[in-house]
Structure 1
Amino acid sequence: MHVADREGDIYELYRDCLDWNENFLIRASHNRTINKKSNRSESDEKLFEVLEICRSKGIVNIQVASSQVGRKYREAKLWIVYKVFSMPPPPNRTKNNCNNNMSILKITAIMAVEKNPPEGESQLCWILLTNLPVNSFEEAVDKVKLYSMRWNIELLHKIIKSGFNFEKAQLRDTNNLKKYAVLTFILSWRIFWITRYFEQEKEKSCENVLSEYEWKVLYKKFNRNKPIQIIPPSIKNIYIWIAKLDGFIGRKGDGNPGIVSMWRGWARFMELLDDYKLFCG
């Protein structure tokens, strides 16, 4: 399953996915000419204009990222439209430079548009292209909700690139670089996973995200004069503690720690565990 932003709106990507029986869900960037009878025939239909005149199939509320400072999410009320269309190859492609594979593609377009965005927020308008089945309003909504989670991929990549400075690695051997990439991804995923747990189920036991050894060392770090409790602390507690290792103060007006505090705190947490093993065995 290929989910991509507007940078992935490429004819060859759609063509190859269809040839290899792979699914895709990609946000459109180009207002293409569509529904040509042949590659070189004329057509007055443009993708965006065709969708704009279609009747809405229904309305759905979804949670999306907010553009306002200090606010992570907001509710967006979206009008949903979907339509099957044919995508011809770009006019600058020829049989010679495309290995004779210049077929007209059958694709479904879904438009999710916000007509009255809240004050201070940018209007949301997504046009999504997919080869997944879309035969009802419910199936269209499923695809919109799936795309709305795409920013999680960007957040994971942010941890990998900014948190672990993967792009600055100076490993010259390919095998070593692959091993480093795998290790970095595992660690980044764990930080991302804890962050999502904190946002959705913060009162649950931390046993879901930390081992017994890990949470006990962390508990003792912030409760030096107390015996280690039998019941593991909540995810909320260990999340705040890890962030505090990086200097997060946790005042009433500070809000919750962000992902930057988490990956910096996680580095200190790993050092804390190493020190404990070194001195206590």
Structure 2
Amino acid sequence: MRGSSALLGESGHCIHVGDRESDIYELFRTAHDLGTHFLVRTCVDRPAGDGQHTIDAEMRNGRVKGLHRVELRDANGARLVVDLELRYQRMTVLPPIGKQSRYPALQLWVIHARERNAPGTRAPIECRLITDLPVSSRAQAVEKLDWYSMRWKIETFHQILRSGCKAEEARLRAADRLAKLISVLCILSWRIFWLTMVSRAVPQAPPEAAFTKTEIELLNCLVQESAHTARAPPLVRNVFKLGQLGGYLARASDPPPGNTVMWRGMRRLTDIQLGYERAMKRSG
């Protein structure tokens, strides 16, 4: 937090978004001292107000201030549309009991979003956030939820960069060479991540929006269509085929291919394409 705030130069324009591992009172206090901001998913039910109750108890007594409809997929890849009840309010958050002599209380905003009328077959969708940024309207609460939802995409991108492109295994000694390599790998990582998501967001888009003509021809030659993939739109069909090169089974009950099979498939397709183009030059 100190490093990023110093690098940016304008700490007030910096917002640190963290998962439950960041639910640390020292982090809240550090952000306050630096004049920067944070948005964290909470896992600790901290004492609040006069210390005689907790954050959860105070939020339970608050009224629902709005609804927010979201679309997502369940564990099997099926599409879900759920309505989240929004509760948000400003409150005094106290440090842990053992640290109250070292840290003062903070005035923070708490957001609780919980699924309305959740089915009994699964746990309700729920998200609890804490921030030092103002949340005085439904629009501001939804904005903070949207910011937090972007964290997963950023983590997925870095997972592809580390595990798929093996960025951490580079043995370059010069910093400038390592920076150039990472720049190239970032482009590759982003393409894999984008291919994974674009077929879910806009499945009716033409395959040429995501694949070159040569890639489409090779995928059609290498991967035999099943009854399941044949019914899919052209873009989704090619994404399935790329995933199949990486080990995706493409069964009717399978969720859409994930990043792991996509980067494996892209690695195989790139090698095959290099051999194909070299062979075409020799024969042409």
Q: TM-score range by the shorter chain?
A: 0.7 to 0.9
Amino acid at match of 2:125: L
SS of the residue 2:260 aligns to: helix
**Is the 8 Å Cα contact of residues 23 and 41 (structure 2) preserved in structure 1?**
yes
Correspondent of 2:56 among 45, 48, 52: 48
The match for 2:267 is 267
**Is the 8 Å Cα contact of residues 108 and 134 (structure 1) preserved in structure 2?**
yes
Amino acid at match of 1:264: R
The match for 1:60 is 68
- With normalisation by structure 1, the TM-score equals 0.75
The match for 1:230 is none
Per-residue CA deviation, residues 174-204 of structure 1 (Å, 9 max, x unaligned), is 7265555444333222111111111011222
SS of the residue 1:132 aligns to: coil
The match for 1:25 is 39
| Greater shift in the superposed pair: 8-17 or 179-188 | 179-188
Amino acid at match of 1:112: A
Structure 1 residue 223, shift from structure 2 partner:
5.0
SS of the residue 2:39 aligns to: strand
Structure 1 residue 165, shift from structure 2 partner:
4.3
Structure 1 residue 265, shift from structure 2 partner:
0.6
Per-residue CA deviation, residues 60-105 of structure 1 (Å, 9 max, x unaligned), is 3222452x4x23542333221111123344444488xx8xxx4533
For residues 179-194 of structure 1, the aligned pairs below 5 Å read 179-194=180-195
Cα distance in 2 for partners of 1:186, 1:90 equals 44
Cα distance in 1 for partners of 2:32, 2:20 equals 19
The match for 1:240 is 240
Aligned residue pair count: 255
Q: Which runs of 5+ in 2 are unaligned?
A: 1-14, 222-232
- Say if 1:65 and 1:21 are closer, same or farther in 2 by CA, change over 3 A: farther
For residues 1-281 of structure 1, the aligned pairs below 5 Å read 1-35=15-49, 43-66=51-74, 68=75, 70-71=76-77, 73-93=79-99, 102-114=103-115, 116-167=117-168, 169=169, 171=171, 173=173, 175=175, 178-210=179-211, 215-223=212-220, 234-246=234-246, 248=248, 250=250, 252=252, 256-280=256-280
Amino acid at match of 1:155: T
Cα distance in 2 for partners of 1:78, 1:154 equals 24
Structure 1 residue 267, shift from structure 2 partner:
0.6
Which is helix-richer, 1 or 2?
Answer: 2
Amino acid at match of 2:196: T
Q: Which runs of 5+ in 1 are unaligned?
A: 37-42, 225-232
Amino acid at match of 1:138: A
**Is the 8 Å Cα contact of residues 64 and 148 (structure 1) preserved in structure 2?**
no
**Is the 8 Å Cα contact of residues 70 and 81 (structure 2) preserved in structure 1?**
yes
Aligned CA-pair RMSD: 3.1
- Say if 1:78 and 1:254 are closer, same or farther in 2 by CA, change over 3 A: closer
- Say if 1:137 and 1:188 are closer, same or farther in 2 by CA, change over 3 A: same
- Say if 1:35 and 1:171 are closer, same or farther in 2 by CA, change over 3 A: farther
Structure 1 residue 128, shift from structure 2 partner:
0.5
- Say if 1:263 and 1:77 are closer, same or farther in 2 by CA, change over 3 A: same
Structure 1 residue 257, shift from structure 2 partner:
2.9
Cα distance in 2 for partners of 1:178, 1:149 equals 25
**Is the 8 Å Cα contact of residues 159 and 263 (structure 1) preserved in structure 2?**
yes
SS of the residue 2:53 aligns to: coil
| Greater shift in the superposed pair: 113-122 or 5-14 | 113-122
- With normalisation by structure 2, the TM-score equals 0.74
Structure 1 residue 30, shift from structure 2 partner:
1.3
**Is the 8 Å Cα contact of residues 87 and 104 (structure 1) preserved in structure 2?**
yes
- Say if 1:150 and 1:118 are closer, same or farther in 2 by CA, change over 3 A: farther
